[in-house]
Homo-oligomer: A and B are copies of this chain.
Amino acid sequence: MQRGDGRNFNQLRPITITPGFQSFAEGSVLIEQGKTRVICSVSMEDKVPQFLRNSGTGWVTAEYSMLPRSTVTRTQRDSSAGKISGRSQEIQRLIGRSLRSCVDLAALGERSFIIDCDVIQADAGTRTASITGAYIALYLAFKKMVDMGILSKMPFTSQVAAVSVSIFKGNIVLDPCYDEDFQAEVDFNLVMNDRAEFVEIQGTAEGKTFSRDTLDQVLKLGEAGIWQLFDIQNSITRP
């Protein structure tokens, strides 16, 4: 099967990473995956949520938002609506959990690392691109803190990346673009670490369903994509 944009079913979109995109941040990247573009920036704060006070342990959390005209037709700002949309909340909780899975929180001391993922352009896969980019931004922030002597060593316990897989017109395709995603029967988001373990799997069917057999193929295809993403991340973090 040839896809609309010429890719094979198992091919990622071209990925470009620009480190240091927001130069005031402790760590920052612009990740471009096809036409999808997300700014991931990390801020360190010398405080932790209530439930961690006096625990000696730190925290990693995320916020996710889309610029109004990241989308094909303009989307109202959450701030105009006066609240964060359910979709945004769901995504930022996912990003936070995914990144916490690869960090030794105790090694952070009582500090919070806030990852802001702001979507400049949304051509599908913004949540998985956010996770893949957030890992690099967090790496850069940790690196700076180690260089400044604030952290004694890099607190990562593994490397993490994420990818989408869709079933589109009956075919299983890796890293769908908007046209494929919009018409997808089923949509999967896979988050994995470099020990080949799953951090999160979500399989969501709006109106459709999927068999066990399909799931097996999806997981295999997604895993292959994630190993490519690890290489791309490493080209920035271990050049």
Whether A72 and B24, one on each chain, are in contact in the complex, defined by CB atoms closer than 8 angstroms, is: yes
A226 at the interface (CB under 8 A from B): no
Whether B23 and A35, one on each chain, are in contact in the complex, defined by CB atoms closer than 8 angstroms, is: yes
A13 to chain B, nearest CB (A): 15
Whether B205 and A200, one on each chain, are in contact in the complex, defined by CB atoms closer than 8 angstroms, is: yes
Complex Cα distance, B116 from A83, in Å, reads 19
Q: Which residues of B contact A195 (CB under 8 A)?
A: 209
Q: How many residues of A contact B (CB 8 A)?
A: 67
Whether A68 and B89, one on each chain, are in contact in the complex, defined by CB atoms closer than 8 angstroms, is: no
Q: Which residues of B contact A158 (CB under 8 A)?
A: 209
A16 to chain B, nearest CB (A): 15
Partner of A219, one of B73, B80, B212: B212
Interface string of A155-195 (1 = CB under 8 A from B): 00010000000000000000000000000000000000101
Whether A23 and B79, one on each chain, are in contact in the complex, defined by CB atoms closer than 8 angstroms, is: no
Whether A199 and B209, one on each chain, are in contact in the complex, defined by CB atoms closer than 8 angstroms, is: yes
Q: Which residues of B contact A97 (CB under 8 A)?
A: 204-206
Which residues 104-129 of A sit at the B interface, judged by CB distance below 8 A? 105, 114, 116, 118, 120-121
Whether B116 and A69, one on each chain, are in contact in the complex, defined by CB atoms closer than 8 angstroms, is: yes
Complex Cα distance, B224 from A189, in Å, reads 25
